Amino acid sequence: MTPRYEEQDGVGVHDALQRLWTPHRLSYVRGEGKAVGDEPEGCPFCRVFGLDDDEGLILARGESVFAVLNLYPYNPGHLMVLPYRHVPDYTDLTPAETVEFAGFTQRAMRVIRAVASPHGFNIGMNQGVVAGAGIAAHLHQHVVPRWGGDANFMPVIGHTKVLPQLLGETRQLLADAWAEMG
């Protein structure tokens, strides 16, 4: 899809800059959908696995964990692996959950490599609010594909992340590849 640029008369001196509108980010800026408290009832991750896969951006469901696209991705294909159980800490996982959690992370990497050929990955989880967890009450691990040169001036100067594909399209691509890999 080719970006659509628009000019608007009567708003000041033309500066020759193109405007990249990201209205979907406004809900993130406003804090909409953030966790309310530490209980499952206020947890967006607990809500998402009750949705259908397309609506919830769910890529795959296992016995005790699932994979979902990050609603506010750092890069295309940025996904998360989560347990169904509402637990805050990695040490709270049962041995069976830990095995499936690790297996889903490996599979996520294979799927993203097959679909998008990243040069590397950032994989990790932030344990606790002070460690940077946006939703600390429900354990989640990020799998972020990386390409050389993917971090340009936009996030630093413009506080904007440019993503070349809509989340629904990314979800379908990765979900199909996940299913094909058996």
Active site residues: 140
What is each CA distance from 99 to 96, 113, 123, in whole angstroms?
A: 5, 21, 16
In three-state secondary structure terms, 163 is coil
> Angle 72-60-57 (CA atoms, 0-180°, nearest 5)?
30
Do the beta carbons of residue 167 and residue 73 sit within 8 Å?
Answer: yes
Find all residues with CB under 8 Å of 52, minimum gap 6, and list them.
Answer: none
Torsion sign (Cα): 111, 65, 80, 46: positive
Long-range contacts, 155-159 (Cβ 8 Å, 24+): 158/20
